[in-house]
């Protein structure tokens, strides 16, 4: 079993730790403040739109265009 330390208990850290634990990892979460807070660096939001021109793969993923119409919500 892998032992992993996740720094930050906000939404990203908690989600990362959760998914790692589901895959069988032994996870320890460390945070300097209370758990379950927002992302300090992003003012509480995660916004892929700012880097859409520099990161086309992330932009396509965020927009759902990587699905090529195979997702029911994308069909017309």
CB atoms within 10 A of CB 69: 10
Q: Each residue of 52-66: pLDDT tens digit?
A: 556 666 666 666 655
In this predicted structure, what is the pLDDT of residue 76? 43
Handedness of CA 26, 30, 35, 38 (dihedral sign): negative
E-state strands within the chain: 3-7, 26-30
Choice among 7-11, 40-44, 45-49, 67-71 with the minimum mean pLDDT: 67-71
The structural domains of the chain, ordered by start, are: 1-37 (3.40.50.720), 45-71 (no CATH)
Say what the pTM is: 0.49
For residue 19, give the H/E element and its range.
helix 11-22
């Amino acid at each position: 079993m892998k032992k992993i330390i996740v720094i930050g208990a906000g939404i990203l850290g908690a989600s990362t730790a959760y998914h790692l634990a589901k895959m069988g990892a032994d996870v320890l979460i460390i945070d300097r403040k209370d758990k379950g807070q927002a992302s300090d660096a992003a003012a509480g939001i995660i916004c892929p739109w700012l880097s859409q021109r520099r990161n086309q793969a992330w932009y396509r993923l965020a927009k759902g265009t990587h699905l090529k119409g195979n997702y029911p919500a994308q069909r017309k």
